[in-house]
Chain A
Amino acid sequence: MEKGKGIMGSGRRWAVDFSDNSTAPSSRDIPDPPGFARASVDQDDSTVSRQKKDAESNWKTQKAWEVAQAPFKNLLMMGFMMWMAGNTVHLFSIGITFSALWQPISALQGVGKVFEPYKDNKVDLLGPKLLFIALNLGGLALGVWKLNTLGLLPTHASDWVSSLPPAQEVEYSGGGIPL
């Protein structure tokens, strides 16, 4: 998570797209200057730009997979923290458990954003996304499991009957030792 943010933040704050692959002059606002042959220029640069693009998409795919795998380390870390926290309810274990629940949820909410920088026509983001989601779901499951071991999930009958009022009695009787 932290790492992903780092890549997105410091590495690519802005980008200018110098390559122009449109061939139809109508798509351009300004007409080509006289004596300028578009086709020849394109021909010259095409091989260079293709190589460049391939390298970039490769790099993006690689980074996307890296980002997708990032929660795994988190998962291990969380597991260790949970083991440290123990099974009794107190401030520390509650804090750990709730952060273990909150992190995957917030990560899942921001799946699109995390992979935004690697969005590319040629890059297939489905695999990394699925892995990312799966790992986060794993983290969530770990959190829920921890919650359950702490006894904070209403999975027992006792959680549902603990506030049931006593049943009404049909009959009423009174009396005692005569006054």
Chain B
Amino acid sequence: MAIRSFLILFILFFFSSLNPILSLYEDQVGLVDWHQQYLGKVKQAVFHTHKTGRKRVVVSTEENVVASLDLRQGEIFWRHVLGSNDVIDGIDIALGKYVITLSSGGSILRAWNLPDGQMVWESSLRGPKHSKSLFLVRTNLKIEKDNIVIIFSNGRLNAVSCMDGEVLWEKDFEGESLKVQQVIQPPGSNLIYVVGFASSSLFEMYQINALNGELLKHESAAFSGGFLGEVSPVFSETVVALDSTGLILLTISFQNGKISFHQMPISNLVKDSFGPAKIIPSSVTGIFAIKMNAVTIVIRVKDESKLEVVEKTNHETSISDALSISEGQQAFALVQHASHEIHLRVKLAHNWDDNLLKESVKMDQHRGLVHKVYINNYIRTDKSYGFRALIVMEDHSLLLLQQGEIVWSREDGLASIIDVTTSELPVERDGVSVAKVEHNLFEWLKGHMLKLKGTLMLASPQDIAAIQSMRLKNSEKSKMTRDHNGFRKLLIVLTRAGKLFALHTGDGHIVWSHLLQSLQKSKVCQHPIGLNLYKWQVPHHHAMDENPSVLVIGKCGPSSDAPGALSFVDTYTGKELSSLSLVHSVAQVIPLPYTDSTEQCLHLLIDADKHAHLYPKTPEAISIFEREFSNIYWYSVEDDNGIIKGHALRGKCTGEVADEVCFETRELWSIVFPSESEKIIAAVTRKLNEVVHTQAKVIADQEVMYKYISRNLLFVATVALKGSVEIGSVTPEESWLVAYLIDTVTGRILHQVTHHGSQGPVHAVFSENWVVYHYFNLKAHRYEMSVIEIYDQSRADNKDVWKLVLGKHNLTSPISLYSRPDVITKSQSYFFTHSVKAIAVTSTTKGITSKQLLIGTIGDQVLALDKRFLDPRRTVNPTQAEKEEGIIPLIDSLPIIPQSYVTHALRVEGLRGIITVPAKLESTTLVFAHGVDLFFTQLAPSRTYDSLTDDFNYALLLITIVALLAAIFVTWTLSERKELQENWR
């Protein structure tokens, strides 16, 4: 004991004398960390393949990224992430050198320089009312060498100069119920047609002079059947629409200002038609497509009004936009899916029967269906047209097809991660080794010679570069087996597309990926949404032969009572072991701390009717559950009506939902926040798998404080209703923030603190016995971070050393939360410069290592901040004993040390979450940050005190040992000789 306390003191002393700055050396970048850049699901792509310059494609994505990609390799030339409240509506290339983006509901127009992505100009567009945004760049619309961009947004038509973003003219469409559907600009003319519907049965057409915005004509015509959905332009003066029933196709032509309707029931075109149809918008002249259930029908329009079905198929079909390849000729691509292959056809718009190109490409099934296709042409050596197609798949990946092959592919689904969990790798056994061993003896020798040279500082700059690349490409770190330190793991990530990926922590490569059956669109589940990932089976001790598996929870549709869907996936192979469509909904998932004999974790799923369903549905699980039945509680935070409710289990379900694993629940307690003054904005608990080393905290002068450590504590932050809006719109008097610590078993409020003049958003993290939260202080006009530490006062009397020595205390005996707690809290607030996107805390296997907060800053970086800075016991002048304990003198703001950025020079664009996983080595924790980009690294908050660092000087150690041995030998012989002489004297 004495030795340990001595060691602890020694370590404390050691670290208080060193300022722990966690910076990296330049050559350490990329050794343990990796960074991957993604884009998200592409929603629009524009090619730029002029003869001069590099061939590129500009894309905009659902993650609001605009990027320029190299067409040869798919690498990113440049990229801008516009942020979640700046949704991109459209992109195009103007003047051959600018990328024009329209974003934020059609209110911001920006131009970016095509080669390097610098912003050239930005202009903001306002309008009288909210409307659909339409975007049109035409190269043939010219005013004195300048191209103009036509934008319809917010009920106003704008013409903007491409050169400087100046608005040339604008025209409002203020008709009461006018909904503009299309802006058409016939090629070769200076006219613009704006077509739309008004009051559901009126078709309106405006003809406008593109050069000055003058209204030339305005016609409207009523159609009694009404309209449904979108219109598709087929000719420059003809559009196709559906009537309100979705059963009749309308061809609307407005040639010479006269509007005429032609009706054509779909049943006349297609014999066995069923159900209402939907128009798939396309810009191909004379051709449009409709979709009825799973059937896609391509229809050609002949002579203004005659419709003709050219193709009807059950396969999923995507049609590209038109590409004009030469004067008056338009090409477009059709992609169809057939089990393992996709068929790509390129046709001319006016000639359906012939294919310009027909290719079949083998496609991995785990990419799902083709969602979008974009084509581009090039001229082959024999002067014929060749085509390349950029396709967007169901799993959000992006592929370039050329000459029947996949030229490159990007896994852009990884830009939208919903949830992350980890899994161990297989244990290394004989014959399981997957890593490649250096097979060439010469290479091996050469490598070691280089390393030796490096350690003896004899290496030339070239050698150093070679050593560095060897270090980076170390095959050890990407091995597919478990390592001694627990650094190699699998990161299992669930993406928004419903695809599960396993990433290796060593270098970030994708080990396997699987498109989940349960999260794919089907007849029973129209809009599946992936929700969460849980560890389902964690083999341990006796169940070592089983593979670990994860549970994926999803539901069909956004409503709260939508039925749930479960998938169980083996994490070694990526195979879906089974998938279930549930009859009940999933409102809460409660992983229970019990496992059955095969190490399957028990999970309780609460449905919208507050019934609890136990999984796995085995008799063994039920018996385990029934043993703990009376001790299991659950709570729900209803943030929309400001109520927190606690529930207990009552008994088996009765009625029509009767089931062995279904249990009724009853409400125990509820906390109702006054709806007029408080609104719940954050609710945070401790991480389930967090390990706490000790319940005691030794403070200065050998005193002990007992931490109040409970798994059932909930931190809730509420703000005044007025304060729940944007920062800057309320005065400090109108806004306050209340933080609560609530016991979720009994509903007891253990602590409550009000921050006057403060407002959200609140980001919080709960660990051990403390919670740290970040909010905005309106009075000080700064962000603040507060810490609350909670201590158990009822244990403070355990001061008798003899009782403790003999173990006659009840500090470790199980406690019930119904016993009256006696807690005290300590809290303090500090200013913090940054606004925060995410906040997390490091976690280690045994919980001994000191903690660091990981703060995702607004600059998309991750900052590591020692918990010591957020100690509520900091004072302005700490005593000597307190200094020894490691208490830092109090200052009003938290320091931001540039070296403590975990992400060093990189940015994790669109940062959404930070996950920490303990490694087996106590000092080290693994950090995974995800957003549009992914970043992974290892952190040692108190340095690697339990292992030698990479830069440890082995050569010096070796030389010292050798020198010592030599010295021992020499002195020994000398002393022998001297003794002999002495004896002869």
| A residues lining the B interface (CB < 8 Å) | 88-90, 151-179
Task: Enumerate chain B residues within 8 angstroms of A179, measured Cβ to Cβ.
Answer: 531-532, 553, 555, 586-589
Instruction: Name 6 A/B residue pairs within 8 A (Cβ), A-sorted.
Output: A90-B13, A160-B801, A172-B593, A173-B744, A176-B683, A177-B636
CB within 8 Å for A159 and B5 given contacts A170-B815, A172-B593 = yes
State how many angstroms separate the Cβ of A1 from the closest Cβ of chain B. 24
Residues of B within 8 A of A173 (CB): 632-635, 646, 711-712, 744-745
Q: What is the 8 Å Cβ interface bit string for chain B, positions 805-840, against chain A (1 contact, 0 not)? A: 100000111111110000000000000000000000
A177 touches B637 (CB 8 A): yes
**In the docked arrangement, what's the CA distance between A176 and B715, Å?**
11
Alpha-carbon gap, A164 to B592, bound state (A): 25
What residues of chain A lie closer than 8 Å to B805, measured between beta carbons? 160
A30 to B777, CA, bound (A): 111
Q: A158-B702, A173-B712, A176-B685 are in contact. List 7 more A-B contacts (CB 8 A).
A: A89-B6, A160-B804, A162-B5, A167-B815, A172-B633, A173-B646, A178-B587
Inter-chain contacts of B850 with A (CB < 8 A): none
A164 → B minimal CB distance (Å): 5
B36: CB under 8 A from chain A? no
- Could you say which residues of chain A place their CB within 8 Å of the CB of B683? 176-177
- Shortest Cβ gap from B612 to chain A (Å): 11
CB-based contact A171/B633 at 8 Å: yes
Which chain A residue has the least Cβ–Cβ distance from B17?
A90
A175 touches B634 (CB 8 A): yes
Answer whether residue B695 sits at the interface, using C-beta atoms and an 8 A cutoff: yes
Q: Which A-B residue pairs are the 9 nearest by beta carbons? A: A174-B590, A160-B804, A156-B702, A173-B633, A175-B635, A161-B696, A166-B709, A168-B814, A178-B587
Interface status of B932 (Cβ within 8 A of chain A): no
CA distance A42 to B289 in the complex (A): 143
Residue in contact with A175 in the complex, picked from B588, B706, B709, B812, CB distance below 8 Å: B588
Question: Taking CB as reference atom, which chain B residue is nearest A153?
Answer: B2
A130 to chain B, nearest CB (A): 30
Residue B143 CB within 8 A of the other chain: no
CB of B845, distance to nearest CB on chain A (Å): 14
Q: How far is the CB of B701 from chain A (nearest CB, A)?
A: 9
Chain B: which residue is nearest A154 at the CB level? B1
- Is B363 close to A, CB under 8 A? no
In the complex, B10 has a CB within 8 A of chain A: yes
Chain B positions 187 through 217: 1 when the CB is less than 8 Å from some CB of chain A, otherwise 0: 0000000000000000000000000000000
Which chain B residue lies CB-closest to A171? B745
- The answer on a CB contact under 8 Å between A157 and B804 is yes
CB distance from B561 to the nearest CB of A (A): 11
Q: Which residues of B contact A90 (CB under 8 A)?
A: 13
Selected from B560, B639, B698, the residue in CB contact (under 8 A) with A158 is: B698
Which chain A residues border B711 with CB–CB below 8 Å?
169, 172-173
Given contacts A169-B711, A171-B712, A174-B604, contact A158 B590 (CB under 8 A): no
| A174 in complex: contacting residue of B634, B693, B816, CB < 8 Å | B634
Is residue B8 within 8 Å, beta carbon to beta carbon, of the partner chain?
yes
| B2 adjacent to A176 (CB under 8 Å) | no
Q: How many whole Å from A7's CB to the nearest CB in chain B?
A: 21
Q: Is B710 located at the chain interface by the 8 A CB criterion?
A: yes
Within 8 A of A (CB), among B1-55: 1-2, 4-6, 8-10, 13
Assess whether A172 is in contact with B704, with CB atoms less than 8 Å apart. no
Residue of A158, A163, A171 with most chain B CB atoms under a 10 A cut-off: A171
Which residues in chain B, 567-622, are within 8 Å of chain A measured between CB atoms?
586-593, 604, 606, 608
B628 an interface residue at 8 Å Cβ cutoff?
A: yes
Closest A residue to B8 by beta carbon equals A162
Residues of A contacting B709 in the complex (Cβ-Cβ under 8 angstroms): 166-167
**B976 within 8 Å of A by Cβ?**
no
Closest to A167 in B: B815
Q: Shortest Cβ distance from B704 into chain A, in angstroms?
A: 5
Q: Does B639 lie within 8 Å of A164, measured CB to CB?
A: no
Smallest beta-carbon distance B173→chain A, Å = 41
Chain B, Cβ-Cβ closest to A155: B801
By beta carbon, the residue of chain A nearest B589 is A179
Nearest B-chain residue to A161, judged by Cβ: B696
Choice from B608, B804, B813 contacting A161 with Cβ under 8 Å? B804
Is the Cβ of B588 less than 8 Å from the Cβ of A178?
A: yes
Output the least CB separation between B752 and chain A (Å): 20
A170-B817, A174-B604, A179-B555 known; A165+B801 contact, CB < 8 A: no
In the bound complex, residues from chain A placing their C-beta under 8 Å from that of B817 are 169-171
In the bound complex, residues from chain B placing their C-beta under 8 Å from that of A178 are: 560, 587-588, 608, 636-638
Q: Report the separation of the CA atoms of residues A99 and B2 in the bound assembly, to the nearest whole angstrom.
A: 17
Instruction: A155 to B9: give the CA distance in the assembly, Å.
Output: 15
CB-CB < 8 A to A171: which residues of B?
631-633, 712, 745, 816-818
Contact at B593–A169, with CB atoms within 8 Å? Answer: no
Is B314 part of the binding interface, using a Cβ–Cβ cutoff of 8 Å? no
Instruction: Look across to chain A and name the residue whose beta carbon is closest to the beta carbon of B710.
Output: A169
Give Cα A162 to B593, complex, Å: 26
How far does the alpha carbon of A111 sit from the alpha carbon of B246 in the complex, in Å?
Answer: 111
Task: Say which residue of B702, B813, B815 sits within 8 Å of A151 (CB atoms).
Answer: B702
Closest to B688 in A: A174
What CA separation (Å) do A153 and B646 show in the bound complex? 48
Question: Across the two chains, which residue of chain A brings its CB closest to B707?
Answer: A166
Residues of B within 8 A of A163 (CB): 4, 693-694
Q: Which of A152, A166, A170, A176 has the largest count of B CB atoms less than 10 A from its CB?
A: A166
Cβ–Cβ contact A89 & B10, under 8 A: yes
Provide the bound-state CA to CA distance between A176 and B632, in Å: 15
Q: How far is it, in angstroms, between the C-alpha of A163 and the C-alpha of B846 when the chains are bound?
A: 11
Given contacts A161-B798, A179-B531, A179-B555, contact A166 B702 (CB under 8 A): no
Within 8 A of A (CB), among B818-870: 818
Say yes or no: B801 contacts A156, CB within 8 Å: yes
* Least Cβ–Cβ distance between B34 and chain A, in angstroms: 31
Asked if B467 lies at the interface with its beta carbon under 8 angstroms from chain A, I say no
User: Known contacts being A158-B704, A179-B531, is A170 close to B631, with CB within 8 Å?
Assistant: yes
Q: Which residues of A contact B646 (CB under 8 A)?
A: 173
Residues of A within 8 A of B815 (CB): 167-170
Residue of A nearest to B10 (CB): A89
Out of B2, B560, B589, name the residue touching A154 (CB < 8 Å): B2
Pair B586/A172 contact, Cβ less than 8 Å:
no
CB atoms of A175 and B590 under 8 A apart: yes
Residues from chain B with Cβ under 8 Å of A153 in the complex: 2
Assuming the contacts A170-B817, A172-B628, A172-B631, asked whether A165 and B812 have C-beta atoms less than 8 A apart, the reply is yes
Min CB distance A18 to B, Å, is 28
Q: Mark B258-287, 1 if CB is under 8 A from A, else 0.
A: 000000000000000000000000000000
Q: CB-nearest residue of chain A relative to B645? A: A175
- Cβ of B176 < 8 Å from any Cβ of A? no
User: Of the candidates A152, A159, A167, A176, which one forms a contact with B588 in the assembled complex, judged by CB atoms under 8 Å apart?
Assistant: A176
Given that A160-B805, A166-B692, A178-B636 are contacting pairs, would A152 and B9 also be in contact in the complex, using a CB cutoff of 8 Å? Answer: yes
Once the chains bind, are B5 and A154 in contact (CB under 8 Å)? yes
By the criterion CB–CB under 8 Å, are A164 and B799 in contact?
Answer: no
Chain A residues near B639: list those with CB within 8 A: 177
Contacts of A174 in B (CB 8 A): 588, 590-592, 604, 633-635
Whole-angstrom distance between the alpha carbons of A146 and B461 in the complex? 55
A165 CB to closest chain B CB (Å) equals 6
In the complex, A159 Cα to B2 Cα: how many Å? 8
Instruction: Say yes or no for B703: interface residue by CB 8 A criterion.
Output: yes
Q: Does B800 reach chain A (CB closer than 8 Å)? A: yes
**Once the chains are docked, how many angstroms separate the CA of A30 from the CA of B696?**
82
A161 to B804, CA, bound (A): 7
| Distance, CA A169 to CA B692, complexed state (A) | 14
Tell me, rounded to whole Å, the shortest Cβ–Cβ distance linking A146 to chain B: 13
Chain B: CB-nearest residue to A87: B880
A45 to B638, CA, bound (A): 115
In the complex the two chains form, what is the Cα distance from A162 to B587 in whole Å? 41
Chain A residues near B553 (CB-CB < 8 A): 179
Contacts of B531 in A (CB 8 A): 179
CB distance from B81 to the nearest CB of A (A): 27
- A residues less than 8 Å from B801 (CB atoms): 154-157, 159-160
B-chain residues with CB within 8 Å of residue A152 when the two chains form the complex:
2, 5-6, 9
